[in-house]
Structure 1
Amino acid sequence: MSSQSLLHPRNIHQGRYNFAALIKALPALEAVICTNPSGEATIDFSDNNAVILLNQALLACYYKVQFWLLPPGYLCPPVPGRADYVHYLADLLARSFDNVPKGRQIALLDIGTGANLIYPIIASQSYGWQVYGSDTDPLAVKTAKVIVASNPALRSQVQVIQQQGNAMFSGVIMPQQRVHLTMCNPPFFASQQEAEAASRRKWVNLGKAAQGQQRNFAGQQHELWCPGGELAFINQMITESQLFKSQVCWFTTLVSQQKHLVPLQKLLRSVGAVQTEVIEMRQGQKVSRILAWSYLSAAQQQQWQTDAVL
């Protein structure tokens, strides 16, 4: 199996995985390499251990992360698709700059960063941004902090924050702090039953129908579902974003279901968002959407080049 096709032009995971380079970065990966029907090297993507080893190799090879380990059962996301979100955000911010902005003067907040810390790793190592990752789960926060502390490449550029209660921005964005971008991969499902049904469909697609309710990429309850699903979650995010309208250049989130865009855009108009964008990411047959909004005009956003206070 190759890495995702139709990735963003700056995504370094184009084409098939370079298993020779990945094994050099993580020799343990070689033990789980197999061949597909065409005789090409791959891994068994229904094997959670193999997926974890692949991620460890990718992070070591391309992102200077030598230690990366998750608590049992926590979400192990595929790296190539996650990188696309970061690169499209860089394009979004580039509108207010002469080119794609790099360096620690750019601040990014990842809401619900999880134990895996994937987005902060990719953003900090791809663009040199200062990245803040927040989460409500104490074990996820503890694990993410260990990953940061264990990797010199991350220590000065990534900070992990424990969210307080259900608030997404309060207690995370400090008074007077300015953040260029926020991002979020929200829990998509409204219930455990929805998540398990989706998991069964995935296993069927992998030819492993007998695996039942197991998840090859794992995931905890708060990572996969919440009351009301992604629509309720993003509604709350938009509502809270009004409190930080002058401190954030672009708020963004992934939206998995296209039907949710209409009510979300209606809500954005009602709360006074000045700019809204829907950015499509196509990876093979999968289509993901980034919903972005700002309470600042394009002219006001351009001022962030010179007067942003991080």
Structure 2
Amino acid sequence: MSSATKPSYETVDFKALAQQDEAFNTIWQQHSGRLDFQDPDTTKTLTKALLKVDFSLQLEVPDDRLCPPVPNRWNYVCWIHTLLDSTNPSYSSHYDPERQVIGLDIGTGASAIYTMLCLKSRPAWTMCATDVDKKSFESAARNLTINNLITRAKLLQTIDSQPLIPLQYLGVDKLDFTICNPPFFADEMDMRQSLSGEGKSVRPNAVCTGSENEMVCRGGDLGFVTRIVDESLTLRERVTWYTSMFGKMSSAKAIIGLLKEKSVTNWAVGSIDVGGGTKRWIVAWSFADYRPPNSIARIEKFANEYLPFPTEYRFSLPANTDTNAAKHTIDRQARRLHIRWNWDSQSATGVGEAAENVWSRAYRRKHERRMRELAATDARDAEMHTILEDMEVALAFRIAVAENTREVIIEWLRGSDQVLWESFCGMVHRSFKKS
């Protein structure tokens, strides 16, 4: 299996890994299959083995710099994959191997692990990577070099006074996403207490070899990502998706509260949990209007006030309506509207784009008046063609008929007008209530 198709980690099969990596097998045998995650050599050997076996990557990290756990890093990258795959101009939810994407790894660290995983899994991607620490920066450059990835990366050693998203210094005008594992702790005491398990019911399951520079910043993860939010309010659509990981749910919620306060209406919330008692959260936000699906933007067991507005609406077909009739109704109804519409009868799925509420009575009256004015001319068809060709998209949607569950599923693909989206869903649903 290539890294481009490798799924997220749910667990790690240590026994199988030991059979594929000699160095890890030595530790596995020494500990009789019971790994000591408080031992730095064990965690480093495990990280190197996973990168080698699952991604064909080599890793060199100084002993006094963070050696990152692979599963949660890869799962974050997989989440980014899904986020980008589901929000694109073609409205396809599938991976496009030819799509050119450029990302920024903010604080890449000595391992450059996010940059390497992104580049290794998506051959058409390029990455920018920054770090303020000279030793970490040099180590990151070395890791990219030994893995033959340096030519697809732009590295920049930054200083504290520079922006966290330094487009000007990178020589980049626009980014598709940022990825960030911020320092989690507000000060050295906070770090020591957390890593020792003080005040926690469960001691951290793995040792942390990170330096203070990697683990500590003013305000912890909340303070660091607040800086990214502040920069995003200026950069806006120059970055399509701003994202960051969080070590505390409270920090993730605080950032979402800040986004809402700043009138940001398009965001997504994810979580990472690969066992071992360590859970992480991801928040992404965008000033563009492409809407990710509920499956990636709305996680379970998270207060509804912190989740974005649902992007899926589904309803069951009436008992007297078979699925073939439902498909015909949807296609016929869409073709009567002044929208761009493409129906695939084989998959029973249609994608449409509308410039405004073209299903309202007010629009129909206005359109009928205009058509009467043009009745004596040959301009009617030409005008409608021009309207559809040149229209600005206010709402994009996908409608599917699920035969196995006898449901109609409507997905919000693009748009910033929540009222328009709800109105469209209501219109489609009412057409079946009448049948």
- Would you say same fold, with TM above 0.5? yes
Mapping for residues 195-210 of structure 1, pairs under 5 Å: 195-201=191-197
Deviations 1:18-41, CA, capped at 9 Å, x for gaps: 54555544x2333322477xx6x3
Displacement after TM superposition at 1:42 (Å): 4.6
Tell me, in whole angstroms, the C-alpha distance in 1 between the residues paired with 2:182 and 2:60.
22
Percent of pairs identical after alignment?
25
Question: Please, what TM-score do these two structures have when normalized by structure 1?
Answer: 0.80
CA contact (8 A) 1:101 1:127 kept: no
Shift of 1:123: 1.5
Once the two structures are TM-superposed, the CA of residue 140 in structure 1 deviates from its matched residue by 0.6
Match of 1:263 among 242, 248, 254: 254
Corresponding residue of 1:111: 106
Deviation at 1:101, TM superposition (A): 4.0
Residue 53 of structure 2 is aligned to residue 61 of structure 1: yes
Describe the SS at the equivalent of 1:156.
Answer: helix
Q: Identify the match of residue 183 of structure 2 among 187, 193, 196.
A: 187
Change (3 A) 1:275 1:52: same
What is the aligned partner in structure 2 of residue 308 from structure 1?
none
**Residue 246 of structure 1 aligns with which residue?**
237
| Match status 1:218 vs 2:196 | no
Once residues 174 and 243 of structure 1 are traced to their aligned partners in structure 2, the CA distance between those partners, rounded to angstroms, is: 17
Query: How is 1:88-103 mapped onto 2 (pairs within 5 angstroms)?
Result: 88-97=79-88, 98=92, 99-102=94-97
CA offsets 1:205-227 (integer angstroms, 9 cap, x no match): 5699xxxxxx7231011211112
Indicate yes or no: 2:275 matched with 1:273. no
Tell me whether 241-250 or 141-150 shows the greater mean CA deviation.
241-250
Give the AA of the match of 2:104. L
Q: 2:367 aligns to what?
A: none
SS of 1:146's equivalent in the other structure is: helix
Rounded to whole Å, the distance in 2 between the matches of 1:42 and 1:78 is 17
Aligned mates of 1:247, 1:207 — CA distance in 2: 38
Note closer, same or farther for the CA distance 1:56–1:260 as it changes in structure 2 (3 Å cut): closer
Q: Cα distance 1:254–1:173, how it changes in 2: closer, same or farther (>3 A)?
A: farther
The answer to whether the 8 A contact 1:183-1:253 is kept is yes
Shift of 1:204: 9.3
1:132 to 128, 135, 143: 128
Q: TM-score, structure 2 length as denominator? A: 0.58
Q: Secondary structure at the match of 1:83?
A: helix
Deviations 1:151-191 (A, max 9, x none): 22x23333322123242012567466221111111111111
SS at 2:270's partner residue?
strand
CA distance in 1 between counterparts of 2:46 and 2:288 reads 41
Matched residue type, 1:288: R
In structure 2, C-alpha distance between the alignment counterparts of 1:181 and 1:101, rounded to whole Å: 16
Could you tell me which residue of structure 2 aligns to residue 3 of structure 1?
Answer: none
- Residues paired across the two proteins, number: 281
Q: Cα RMSD between the aligned structures?
A: 2.9
Q: Is the 8 A contact 2:128 2:155 kept in 1?
A: yes
Corresponding residue for 1:291? 283
Q: Cα gap change, 1:24/1:286 in structure 2, threshold over 3 Å: closer, same or farther?
A: closer
Task: Report if aligned partners of 1:22, 1:61 keep a CA contact under 8 Å in 2.
Answer: no
- Change in CA separation of 1:200 and 1:18 when aligned onto 2, cut-off 3 Å: closer
**C-alpha distance in structure 2 between counterparts of 1:102 and 1:286, whole Å:** 33
- Give the stretch that moved more between structures: 181-190 or 124-133: 124-133
The 1:275–1:46 alpha-carbon spacing in structure 2 relative to 1, beyond 3 Å, is same
Match of 1:85 among 72, 76, 79: 76
- 2:103 and 2:126 map into 1 onto residues whose CA distance is 6
Equivalent pair of 1:164/1:171 in contact (CA under 8 Å): no
The one-letter code sitting in structure 1 at the alignment partner of 2:43 is V
CA–CA separation in structure 1 for the residues paired with 2:196 and 2:18: 30
Paired residues of 2:47 and 2:70 also in contact (CA < 8 A): yes
Distance 2:141 2:237 in 1: 29
Report the Cα distance in structure 2 between the residues aligned to 1:267 and 1:239, rounded to whole angstroms: 10
Rg larger in structure: 2
Q: Which residue of 2 aligns with 1:143?
A: 139
Letter of the structure 2 residue corresponding to residue 55 of structure 1: T
CA contact (8 A) 1:46 1:206 kept: no
3-state secondary structure, aligned to 2:182: coil
Structure 2 equivalent of residue 165 of structure 1:
160
Partner amino acid for 2:52?
A
